[in-house]
A and B are shown apart, each in its own frame.
Chain A
Amino acid sequence: MVLIRVVEEMIAERYNEQKMRCPTHLSIGQEAVSAAAGIALSKEDLVVSTHRSHGHYIGKGGDVPRMIAEIYGKETGCSKGKGGSMHLIDLSVGFMGSTAIVGNSIPIGAGLGMSLKLDKSENISCIFLGDGAVEEGVFAETVNFCAQKELPVLFICENNLYSVYSPLSKRQPKDRQICTMVEAMGIKSAKGNGNDVFEVYNQINKSMQYINHERKPFFLEFDTYRWREHCGPNYDNELGYRTENEFLEWKKKDPIPFASKILLKDKLVSIEELEKIKDRAIVDANNAFNFAEESPFPPQRAAYEDIYSL
């Protein structure tokens, strides 16, 4: 959680250097879901994600220097500079790919689930999605197929209330919850506080036990909030699509101090240890940025490679 925060704050801080020349969607404020999911899932469990995927990638154990190098467009990037911030991949930890069209990776995650079922594997496929993707036709199609085929798929929906600038209230009916809709479509569902990392972890763990035991899909919805603009490094409350007050209320629910307080109270960690965690994250993030800065750009001819697999 701390590493995700530190890395993304550093992206925001350095974005104006104009060296990270691609659209970048930060998940600052939403780290609890990424971190808890990364810990609950095993390395062999598979993940697909969205345009806002830095947190999911880092949480799952994805290589941070290669992610930053990808954002810098370098040859050492996790996608060799072909994908940018929105197309992250680290097959060595089961992070199968994040894609940039809303809803696009949802059926792909279900396809991974089908392959696991065919192989009689114990592992699961985890699909990260947002509240906007729920409105796509492909979401309904995929939920239907997963329910019909009883696939080992865990849906994790981060409901951060906005699709770019469009609030949930203008996009979905007032009294209907996403998770109850999905439950009605035939997939067992639950909802939780997405800023409480312990609750998220427990919920994911419970749902994974259900999937493993029943070999059926599960859907989790977590309420959370992105602090910064939809795309880019800045705060954007002055635009008026959401109120400063709403933002400040959510900022009070910052998942990192929330978790720290509980850990300190229960004496599971000391202040010094917490500081050490943060210091280490800063060192790791700096190393990642140095790696990216020092890496070469791909040669121009590489633009013409990898169109087909040979």
Chain B
Amino acid sequence: MTRIISFTESINEALTIAMEIDNKVLCYGLGVDDPKHIFETTTGLQEQFGEDRVFDMPTSENAMTGIAIGSALRGYKSIMVHQRLDFFLLAMDQLVNAAAKWNYMFGGQSSIPIVIRLIIGRGWGQGPTHSQSLQSWFSHIPGLKVVMPSSPRDAKGLLLESIFDKNPVLFLEHRWLHNQEEDVPEGDFRVALGKSNLLKKGKDITIVGMSYMNTEAVRAIEFLETLGISCEHIDLRSVNPIDWDSIIVSVKKTKRLLVLDTASKTSSLSAEIIARTSTELFSEMTTAPDRICLPDIPIPASFALTKDLYPTSFDIAKKVCSMLDKNFDPAALIQSEFPHDVPGDWFKGPF
């Protein structure tokens, strides 16, 4: 029996199940019990589990990360949430110098099982400090695990797995995925960390996508199929550690690689994926690997300035055609009917 729920409902369900399974799971963040409940992802949790386990917190991102680490040393598993990834930048000391290092620097004696949910903003004038996609920073730090779910099903499975992992996990949610819906398994359903997801088999090119870019990729791949181009589509799912084996196996077969990144280009994950794949498969690849990213600029706020900034399925289709020396007819691909700064008609702002 299918059961269609949204990405946010899926998060809410995972949190509820985790807190039912283990009474040492805590959930806090600025606004978890406010009327908006973090885009409704924490609705009902405080009523069900009480104020000791689900609570609003002071605007102290760095200290609260340390609170999560300290309580983890005595077995409490905290799930902290920040409504924007950008807010969490105040907590880099606790994340990088404490959470990521603790297990290592004390010789494996005590680990830090915490989950930090960070929401990546986009569109509607979010601007320079409400829309950063900094997964490459986090993937650079040994000791952290970093996941980027791109579907409601994965959101649930990856979140439950993250909560019961023994290590610090950053859980990066793209705001534009929040209203996507699909069939999501009931109960304690888990998706392994560090493993990618083969969304579609193909033979002409490997497309590796992350987070919301997979939504754009699906549209592009459907279109490319009508041109007789067969794409293999891998959802990266985890950006630390990265599932290198699956990427290498796929590119070895298709001999072409396109990486879709939600971040700006320089020093991005796409750079790492192309570097590693090229190093291993250079002589076997038939075209230079390529990538689609944001430009190396801060993201502006204005509706006018963001036009054509974010790559879409159109850009993906065009790039794949050029990599395969196929003609691309721009008129053939139906463009989104919504304004460029919203994911669909469900989004009316403000953030």
Contact = CB atoms under 8 A, between A and B. Distances in A.
A307 B143 contact: yes
Interface string B93-111: 1100110001111111111
A109 B70 contact: yes
A100 B93 CA distance: 11
Interface stretch (B61-69, B297-305, B321-329): B61-69
Contact of A82 (B58, B60, B104, B167): B104
Identify the interface centre among A101, A106, A309: most chain B CB within 10 Å of its CB: A309
A139 to B, nearest CB: 8
Contacts of B62: 107, 137-138, 141
A292 to B, nearest CB: 15
Given A101-B98, A103-B93, A115-B74, 16 more contacts: A82-B106, A89-B110, A96-B110, A107-B70, A108-B70, A108-B98, A111-B71, A112-B74, A115-B75, A138-B66, A142-B67, A145-B67, A308-B145, A309-B108, A309-B113, A309-B166
B164 interface: no
Range class of the A interface residue count: 35 or more
Interface string A109-124: 1111111101100000
Contacts of B97: 99-101, 104
Contacts of B223: none
A87 B105 contact: yes
B74 A308 contact: no
A79 interface: yes
Contact of A97 (B60, B65, B106, B142): B106
B351 to A, nearest CB: 24
Say whether chain A's binding surface is mostly helix, strand, loop, or mixed: mixed
15 contacts: A79-B106, A81-B107, A89-B106, A91-B110, A96-B110, A105-B66, A106-B63, A107-B63, A108-B94, A111-B72, A137-B62, A138-B63, A142-B63, A144-B60, A145-B57
Interface residues of B, number: 39
Nearest to A98: B106
A239 interface: no
A148 interface: yes
Contacts of B113: 309
A91 B166 CA distance: 18
Interface in B54-88: 57-58, 60, 62-76
B82 to A, nearest CB: 15
A308 B105 contact: no
B52 interface: yes
A111 B106 contact: no
Contact of B58 (A97, A109, A118, A148): A148
A306 B107 contact: yes
B142 A104 contact: no
B146 to A, nearest CB: 12
A107 B69 CA distance: 8
A308 B100 CA distance: 9
Which among B52, B60, B76, B145 has the highest number of chain A CB atoms within 10 Å?
B60
Contacts of A89: 106-107, 109-110
A162 to B, nearest CB: 22
A110 B143 CA distance: 23
A115 B70 contact: yes
B93 A141 contact: no
Most buried by B among A83, A103, A111: A111
B166 A310 contact: yes
A309 B74 contact: no
A80 B70 contact: no
A305 interface: yes
B112 to A, nearest CB: 8
A307 B104 contact: yes
Nearest to B78: A111
Nearest to B112: A309
A158 B68 CA distance: 25
